[in-house]
């Protein structure tokens, strides 16, 4: 994980959720409300939730924790009349990541490849 405690502390806001089990952190997710920079899928003037990070410890994956964290973020955004969300990811298991978000109702908008 690239996030140090100091970097994470700077991201603390009302869109930061932590999951613990028996006093140990097993996952977290965070994001922020943004506006602009998401055209053509989100109009320039519309606010949206940008999900920056979702992490679940490998021993606790595939148990619905990530889904619950995403739903918490989206529910919190809807309290502020935000109905759109954007997420990006760069990892070696990108197909699994894309499948996870597609199951939650996200659509593919952008792809970047390398050689």
Q: Where are the domains of the chain?
A: 5-103
Three-class SS of 6-51: HHHHHCCCCCEEEEEECCEEEEEEEEEEEECCCCCCCCCCCEEEEE
pLDDT per residue over 82-106, tens digit each? 999 999 988 888 899 999 999 999 9
Mean of pLDDT values over 56-70: 96
| pTM, 2 dp | 0.86
Which pair of tokens denotes residue 21? 């089990």
Query: Which residue bears the tokens 């954007």?
Result: 86
Pick the CATH number of 5-103 from 3.40.50.1970, 3.30.300.30, 3.40.630.30, 3.40.50.2000: 3.40.630.30
87: phi then psi, degrees, rounded to nearest 5: -140, 145
- Look over the chain and give the mean of its residue pLDDT values, rounded to a whole number: 91
DSSP E strands: which ranges in 57-115?
85-87
Tokens matching residue 102: 């597609």
């Amino acid at each position: 994980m690239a996030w140090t405690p100091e970097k994470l502390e700077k991201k603390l806001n009302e869109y930061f959720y932590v999951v613990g089990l028996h006093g140990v952190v097993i996952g977290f997710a965070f994001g922020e409300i943004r506006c602009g920079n998401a055209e053509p899928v989100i109009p320039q003037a519309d606010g949206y939730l940008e999900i920056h990070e979702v992490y679940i410890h490998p021993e606790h994956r595939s148990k619905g924790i990530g889904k619950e964290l995403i739903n918490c973020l989206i529910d919190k955004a809807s309290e502020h009349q935000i109905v759109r969300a954007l997420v990006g990811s760069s990892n070696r298991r990108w197909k699994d990541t894309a499948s996870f978000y597609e199951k939650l109702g996200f659509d593919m908008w952008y792809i970047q490849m390398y050689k």
